[in-house]
Structure 1
Amino acid sequence: MEIAHPPGLDPFVQHLVHTGRYADEADVVRTALRVLERQECDESPALESALLEGVRSPHRPYGPAVLEAIRQAAGIL
């Protein structure tokens, strides 16, 4: 597979290689892809479900009582 990146990233990639932290450009790309893979796999189905529930629910103005209930549910006092 051949990968092209925006020219604006060249100095950054070259800096990473020149520091000795990465062997070459391919090593930088492999590491970046591993980080992206971890990030994508760490998505929480429960969080996604809660966010969707919130988006789909009717808007209610937040008053002090609602905010206090949120704090208590989150364990923030």
Structure 2
Amino acid sequence: MSRLLPYETIVKAHEGDPEAVDAVLSHYAGYIRYFSKMNGQVNAEVEDYVKERLIACLLKFQFDYPPDEP
């Protein structure tokens, strides 16, 4: 099983599809919780902030349509 998110899921999340955004957040939940720890405990405020920033970045991400060719 691939550990990567399908490209289509990322595109749909970028377009604002709630299910796709949830799939991205679920995929990265372990990383989010790990980096939200302070003194060995998960800080809920930091966790929420990281999730908000991830969603904001998803929506602003720029795709190259179609890919540049030499």
* Structure with the bigger percentage of helix: 1
TM range (shorter): 0.3 to 0.5
* Structure with the bigger percentage of strand: 2
- TM-score, normalised on structure 1? 0.34
- TM-score, normalised on structure 2? 0.36
Structure with higher Rg: it is: 1
Higher relative contact order (CA 8 A, sep 6+): 2
